[in-house]
Structure 1
Amino acid sequence: METRPRSFYVLTVFFVLFLAFLYGPTVTIGILSFQGPGGGLTFPMRGTSLHWFRDLFQQQAVGDIWGSFSRSFTLGVMVMVTTVVVSVMGGLAFRKRFAGSTLLFYLVITSLVIPSILISLGVGLIWSQSGLPVHWSTSGFGAQLTWTLPFGLLIMFAVFNRFDSSYEEAARDLGASSWQVIRHVVLPIVAPSLIGVALFGFTLSYDEFARTLLTSGSYNTLPLEIFGMTTNVTTPVLFALGTLTTMFSLSVIVLFLLVVWLLNRRRARMGSDAGKGMV
């Protein structure tokens, strides 16, 4: 029987500690959200109940939490759609080298290394100095795109670098127009990657704090509302909110993964049917 080296067990312990460090706070918040009615924000727990979840759904108990959730959700969808569309267009454009493409690429990536709070401050100042209202759907939307677009473009660059152009050539040989090639050939092939870009766009926008702090105007998004609650909420209702938002985020991820699985299964079935037809 082959024995494992000592380094294997050392690295295993290190990995387990890393997972505990990574997910421990989230698990702790989830546990504390089930405190009894007399429970507090720390251990030991004083009974278990769903009291704080019921309290969360009382509008007066948590301020504008549901309004901030709807704003974050709407903003996340806006950012997601824009990120997908622009990323696909950018990926298609960068397949052919054009004047200034390298400079443009580095300008896009630069926004990832600039401190987020400076981006928020800069976008907020541009809007206010231009006489435009600072609002989550305008300046906040623009600030968040500086965060999501680079990720979407990097994904699409990687996808199109591996893209086999022979599929497009075959479609053109069969008389397909440029739009038909994109619609019926390119987009179906890169569809799983588009789901990944969409997931990045929504999740990065939904929980973004720093780039929204100075660009949301007088209406908070969900991360800003939660941050505001930490200064005046001293009950586990805050943990209940954190648990629900985490479950919502995980549900969105599972939904996107399910869509990717269905797309891959459909593609495999179509390929199998095509193979049988050729036989």
Structure 2
Amino acid sequence: MWLFLLFLYGPTLTILILSFQGPMGGLTFPLKDPSLHWFASLFEVQRVGDFGGSLKRSLILAVLVMFVNVLIAVPAGMALRKGFRGSRAIFWLTIASLIVPSILVSLGVGLLFSQTGLGTKWYTSAFGAHLTWTLPFGVLIMIGVFARLNPAYEEAAVDAGATRWQTFRHVTFPIILPNVVGVMLFGFSLSYDEMPRTVLAGGAYNTLPLEIYAMTNNVTTPVLYALGSLTTLVSFLVIALALTLMTLARRRTGGGAALRKPKQES
């Protein structure tokens, strides 16, 4: 397991170390005059690349995708839980979107926006392309959550006179809240580093993954390593925040007991 973790994070650790090169340091070892020089120059005007702008665009896009992912995935999971005419077809069409090559999705979304005169932009066409990637995961998670949800809690609320909205707000949603946070985390992380579905649908301004890819052929200083370290830190902070919220939500709902089927009395 330790060897696997080393293989997984070894390259990232190498980038982290080299990002502390001094002003005269290069792209390879040895480390010369360690300092924060390249971190300080990240948001300065660069001769090549727009690090600050691309990072801002990726964060905004990821946050938008995160919230829309939840707003669609939760009602979709509830609808598929109860079933309706055509629900099976919708389920398989949702899963099938994960099989379509990402570059074809990007091409199709880009052509759709271009031909309709809307133009390709990172906050419109790329936003739609990212949702084709994040929504199936969100829906799958919520289907599993609702399949494990004990309906007795909702039935008790209805028997007590609660409306459907009150039942969802005061009973169902608090129970599934840790999983909703998980869906949010999925949406953010999948969008934040998505490149294939952005390359032909992102428009004139690059998101961070596209900017980093472009920089690998042009940047000859460790500023690229500093950018990689910063974005990795952002990812870990988001994960830590999500895990904290999930833990707090589980404590509030009694450790997720409502998602376990009660034992049948003999």
Secondary structure, counterpart of 2:46 in structure 1 = helix
Contact 1:84 1:152 in 2 (8 A): yes
Residue by residue, what CA displacement relative to the aligned partner does 1:35-82 show, whole Å, maximum 9, x if unpaired?
A: 122111112222322111122232335642111111111111110111
Counterpart of 2:233 (choices 247, 268, 277) is: 247
Where does residue 50 of structure 2 map in the other structure? 64
Which of the pair is proportionally richer in helix? 1
Contact 2:42 2:52 in 1 (8 A): no
Contact 1:76 1:202 in 2 (8 A): yes
Pairing of 1:262-277 with structure 2 (within 5 A): 262-268=248-254
Secondary structure, counterpart of 1:71 in structure 2 = helix
Counterpart of 1:28 (choices 7, 11, 14) is: 14
Residue by residue, what CA displacement relative to the aligned partner does 1:112-161 show, whole Å, maximum 9, x if unpaired?
A: 11111111011111111122211111110110001000110110010000
Where does residue 42 of structure 1 map in the other structure? 28
Contact 1:55 1:61 in 2 (8 A): no
Separation of aligned partners in 2, 1:266 and 1:92: 22
Separation of aligned partners in 1, 2:143 and 2:20: 45
Contact 1:56 1:62 in 2 (8 A): no
Q: Aligned pair 1:135/2:135, yes or no?
A: no
Pairing of 1:202-221 with structure 2 (within 5 A): 202-221=188-207
Separation of aligned partners in 2, 1:65 and 1:35: 18
Residue by residue, what CA displacement relative to the aligned partner does 1:172-210 show, whole Å, maximum 9, x if unpaired?
A: 111101111111111000000000000000111111111
Counterpart of 1:261 (choices 241, 244, 247) is: 247
Where does residue 187 of structure 2 map in the other structure? 201
Change (3 A) 1:134 1:32: same
Where does residue 55 of structure 1 map in the other structure? 41
Counterpart of 1:80 (choices 66, 77, 82) is: 66
Please identify, of 250-259 and 55-64, the stretch whose mean Cα deviation from structure 2 is larger.
55-64
Contact 1:143 1:215 in 2 (8 A): yes
Residue by residue, what CA displacement relative to the aligned partner does 1:220-241 show, whole Å, maximum 9, x if unpaired?
A: 1111111121121111010000
Contact 1:136 1:219 in 2 (8 A): yes
Give the residue type in structure 1 aligned to 2:147. Answer: N
Separation of aligned partners in 1, 2:252 and 2:151: 22
Where does residue 177 of structure 1 map in the other structure? 163
Contact 2:62 2:189 in 1 (8 A): yes
**TM superposition shift of 1:103:** 1.3
Pairing of 1:113-152 with structure 2 (within 5 A): 113-152=99-138
**TM superposition shift of 1:17:** 2.9
Query: Highest Rg: 1 or 2?
Result: 1
Where does residue 261 of structure 2 map in the other structure? none
Secondary structure, counterpart of 1:124 in structure 2 = helix
CA RMSD of aligned residues (A): 1.5
Identity among equivalent positions (%) equals: 60
Where does residue 102 of structure 1 map in the other structure? 88
Contact 1:168 1:185 in 2 (8 A): yes
Give the residue type in structure 2 aligned to 1:194. Answer: V
Secondary structure, counterpart of 1:268 in structure 2 = coil
Separation of aligned partners in 2, 1:68 and 1:213: 13
Give the residue type in structure 2 aligned to 1:152. Answer: G
**TM superposition shift of 1:34:** 1.0
Contact 2:63 2:188 in 1 (8 A): yes
What is the aligned residue count?
A: 256
What TM-score does the superposition give when structure 1 sets the normalisation length?
0.88
Where does residue 230 of structure 1 map in the other structure? 216
Give the residue type in structure 1 aligned to 2:136. Answer: P
Separation of aligned partners in 1, 2:108 and 2:6: 37
Q: Mind listing any 5+ residue stretches in structure 1 that lack a counterpart? A: 1-14, 272-279
Poorly superposed stretches of 4+, deviation over 4 Å: none
